[in-house]
């Protein structure tokens, strides 16, 4: 439970409970003393001169002098208080640039002015520290790869970072101030701590699999108002990484055991084939041993292809021309002309060799799909390639006229393939390369016609201006 604030103690400024202001009370006291002094002076002047006119002249002169002295005294008394009041009013408005001058210790007004100056300095330092902390928190939140959102007591969105904008397809300027219901995030706001959240229907599935978020929920106060802070973690990405690690361990074990068997089989088959005498009967044995040797060699190559999944090195990032990289990839495909749509060249920071391999795999799949017997018969086989740049990523799209996707759930499962001669590692390797670059691979069916769209998404920043 939140701790209760102590009650506010109000100290009286004086013993008087009258409704007169401070200035009026001072003026009344001054004129009270003045009346006594003026009356006494008038009486003494009348007794000394015996003339009423002289007495009235003395009374008028003394009253005038008293008025001047009282005005100066009143000014000296009230002006410092007005100055200090203005300083306190500026502090209340978060303006800490004013200070009282000419104050010194040893008198009540000087002590008050010095204490207000110290209070202003302390509040200025506290505000500066708070602004620095807030700026740091905002920079940390904006740079976080996980979505972060904050809602107030009425369920209105008050804070979100760039990752949340991408994850839920909402814009910061248009979303702030709207309720969770209007943004289709009511289920998220009602989620318990450490619960799983599937996301809205329009963002619940990506090309690389369904999205699953783990929700971390906490509370904080902003300007004294309670808020709810939600931080999401992509559980699907973690599960994919664990799945990949499990496959890599399995491949390592299978590769070791199978390789230990294939090597002696191939060697023994070759030795026996070399020792056979030339005869009609030995021809059959020779053909059989040749088949054994060739299949052992093929299985070994097949195994080495799978071992690529666990041997991908760390990317060595270099500034690379995306147009030149794609041009090299397109020239490698000779089975079908690839139509490259005109796009602006972009400088990307990537490992060129790895990205080329990923694009080769995606392009090979697109060409094979376009040339497959299940492709549309009324249109010529076609593969188009283009790329575009957004605020923070580059998207390379490969569009084919093939039969499209039939089993999206197993696209990125190692060993899974629908091709008679496929190995089942092309898409997995492309996805692994993309994720090593903090990107992703997404596949979806074309909305306008039969076929598939493969997207390679890579993070982008202006590397040319950073050099």
Q: What is the pLDDT of residues 357-373, one digit of tens each?
A: 889 889 988 898 888 88
Q: What is the mean pLDDT of residues 336-350?
A: 87
Q: Report residue 385's pLDDT band, with 50, 70 and 90 as the boundaries.
A: very high
Q: What is the pLDDT of residues 43-97, one digit of tens each?
A: 887 777 777 777 788 778 877 887 787 777 777 777 777 788 888 888 888 787 7
Strand-pair category, 338-340 with 347-350: unpaired
Q: Which of 129, 128, 174, 168 is nearest to 146 (CA)?
A: 168
DSSP 401: -
Q: What is the pLDDT of residues 102-125, one digit of tens each?
A: 777 777 777 888 888 888 888 888
Rounded Cα–Cα distance for residues 358 and 456 (Å): 8
pLDDT of amino acid 304: 65
H and E: helices and strands count for the chain:
12, 14
Inter-CA distances, 456 with 388, 439, 459, Å: 11, 8, 10
Rounded Cα–Cα distance for residues 344 and 388 (Å): 8
Q: Does the pLDDT value for residue 237 go beyond 80?
A: no
pLDDT of amino acid 35: 78
Q: Does the pLDDT value for residue 467 go beyond 50?
A: no
Q: Which of 353, 343, 317, 340 is nearest to 463 (CA)?
A: 317
Tokens standing for 111? 């002590």
């Amino acid at each position: 439970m939140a701790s209760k604030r102590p009650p506010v103690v109000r100290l009286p400024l004086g013993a008087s409970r009258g409704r007169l202001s401070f200035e009026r009370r001072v003026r009344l006291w001054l004129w009270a003393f003045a009346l006594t002094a003026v009356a006494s002076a008038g009486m003494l002047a009348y007794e000394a001169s015996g003339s009423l006119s002289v007495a009235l002249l003395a009374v008028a002169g003394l009253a005038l002098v008293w008025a001047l002295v009282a005005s100066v005294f009143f000014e000296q008394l009230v002006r410092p208080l007005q100055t200090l009041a203005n300083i306190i009013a500026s502090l209340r408005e978060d303006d800490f640039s004013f200070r009282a001058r000419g104050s010194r210790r040893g008198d009540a007004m000087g002590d008050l002015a010095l204490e207000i100056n110290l209070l202003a300095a302390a509040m200025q330092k506290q505000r500066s520290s708070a602004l620095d902390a807030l700026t740091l928190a905002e920079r940390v939140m904006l740079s976080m790869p996980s979505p972060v959102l904050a809602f107030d007591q009425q369920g209105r969105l008050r804070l979100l970072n760039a990752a949340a904008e991408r994850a839920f397809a909402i814009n910061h300027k248009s979303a702030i101030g709207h309720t969770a219901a209007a943004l289709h995030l009511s289920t998220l706001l009602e989620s318990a701590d450490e619960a799983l959240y599937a996301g809205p229907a329009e963002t619940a599935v990506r090309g690389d699999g369904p999205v699953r978020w783990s929700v971390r929920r906490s509370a904080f106060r902003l300007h004294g108002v309670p808020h709810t802070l939600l931080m999401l973690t992509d559980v699907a990405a973690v599960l994919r990484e664990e799945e990949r690690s499990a496959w890599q361990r399995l491949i390592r074990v299978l590769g070791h055991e199978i390789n230990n068997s294939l090597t002696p089989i191939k060697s023994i088959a070759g030795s026996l084939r070399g020792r056979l005498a030339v005869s009609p009967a030995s021809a059959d044995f020779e053909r059989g041993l040749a088949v054994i040797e060739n299949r052992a060699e093929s299985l070994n190559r097949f195994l080495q292809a799978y071992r690529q999944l666990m041997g991908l090195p760390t990317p060595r990032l270099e500034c690379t021309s995306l147009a030149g990289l794609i041009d090299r990839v397109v020239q490698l495909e000779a089975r079908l002309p690839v139509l490259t749509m005109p796009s602006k060249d972009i400088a990307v920071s990537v490992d060129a060799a790895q990205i080329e391999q990923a694009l080769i795999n995606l392009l090979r799949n697109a060409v094979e799909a376009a040339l497959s017997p299940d492709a549309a018969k009324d249109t010529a086989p076609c593969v188009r390639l283009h790329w575009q740049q957004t605020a923070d990523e580059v998207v390379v799209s490969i569009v084919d006229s093939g039969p499209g996707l039939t089993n999206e759930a197993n696209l990125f499962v190692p060993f899974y393939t629908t091709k008679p001669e496929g190995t089942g590692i092309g898409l997995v390797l492309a996805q692994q390369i993309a994720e090593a670059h903090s990107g992703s691979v997404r596949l979806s069916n074309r909305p306008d016609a039969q076929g598939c769209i493969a997207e390679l998404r890579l993070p982008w920043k202006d590397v040319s201006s950073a050099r």
